Chains A and B, each alone.
Chain A
Amino acid sequence: DTGVSQNPRHKITKRGQNVTFRCDPISEHNRLYWYRQTLGQGPEFLTYFQNEAQLEKSRLLSDRFSAERPKGSFSTLEIQRTEQGDSAMYLCASSLKGQGRVYEQYFGPGTRLTVT
C-alpha cells in the first residue's frame, strides 16, 4: 500500500495528557498537511510542510499544538495538555509541488481523538 498512512487510528486520552500522532505521506510527495475535522464541518487547516520546513500554521492553532517533519518524510503532530474540545478527527494529507504548481492532495485515514 503506497497511500498516506496515519497512526494510531484511534486514541482515547484523559484531559490534561499529551498525545502524539504520526503521518507517513506518499513517498515522493514533498508537501504534507494536517487538518482537524469535527462532525458536520469540513477539514480545518492546521499546518503544512514543504519538505522539512513548516511553511504555515493556522492562526487558530493553540500553542499546545506542535508539528514536526524532521527529515522531510514522516510527520508528527503533538497536542499537549489535551482538552475536551480537542476531540476530533485529525487528518493528514500529502501532495506534490513542482514546476510552480501544487498538485492534488491525498488523505490518510485519519486519527480519531477522544478526550475524556
Chain B
Amino acid sequence: QKEVEQNSGPLSVPEGAIASLNCTYSDRGSQSFFWYRQYSGKSPELIMFIYSNGDKEDGRFTAQLNKASQYVSLLIRDSQPSDSATYLCAGNNDMRFGAGTRLTVKP
C-alpha cells in the first residue's frame, strides 16, 4: 500500500475557478505536510506546508489538514493558466510522494 495517495487526475478547470486537489496518507507519524508544484521538465518547488489541523491560507492557495481523517488538500482560488502543473503532496515523516495530480487551467 502506498503511503500517500492522490487523485491522479487529470483535473481540468476553467480560468478563474477553484481547483481542489486531495491527498490521503496512511502514515500517522507525519506531523506536517507539504505541497509541491512541478512544471513539466522541472523539479518540484515547494508552494505550501501545513502543520496543524485546519486551514492555512497563502495568497490564492489554501491548504487543509485533517489528521483524524488522514487527508490533506490544496485549494487554488482564481486559477490561472500558469497554475497548470502537477501537484505533489508528501508527509514530513518519510517524505514519500504520491503520483501527483496533473492540473490544467483552461483560458
Contacts of B6 in A (CB 8 A): 42
**Chain B residues, CB < 8 A from A108:** 43
Does B45 lie within 8 Å of A107, measured CB to CB?
Answer: yes
**In the assembled complex, which residues on chain B have CB atoms less than 8 Å from the CB atom of A45?**
94-97
Interface-located stretch among A14-22, A65-73, A74-82, A98-106 = A98-106
Give the B interface residue count (CB, 8 A): 22
Whole-angstrom distance between the alpha carbons of A104 and B80 in the complex? 25
Contact between A104 and B46 (Cβ–Cβ < 8 Å)? yes
Closest-CB distance, B24 to chain A (whole angstroms): 14
Those of A28-64 within 8 Å (CB) of chain B:
33, 35, 40-45, 48
A interface, over-half SS:
strand
Q: Contacts A41-B99, A102-B92, A104-B34 hold; do A109 and B49 have CB atoms under 8 A apart?
A: no
Chain A CB within 8 A of B44 CB = yes
Q: Is A105 in contact with B100, judged by CB distance below 8 angstroms?
A: no
Whether A105 lies near B99 (C-beta < 8 A) is: no
Task: Check B93 for interface membership: any CB of A closer than 8 A.
Answer: yes
B88 within 8 A of partner (CB): yes
Interface contact A107-B44, CB-CB below 8 Å: yes
Taking CB atoms, residues of chain A closer than 8 Å to B42 are: 109
A104 vs B45: C-alpha distance when bound (angstroms): 10
Q: Is the CB of A33 within 8 A of B95?
A: yes
| Chain A interface residues (CB < 8 Å from chain B) | 33, 35, 40-45, 48, 89, 91, 93, 101-110
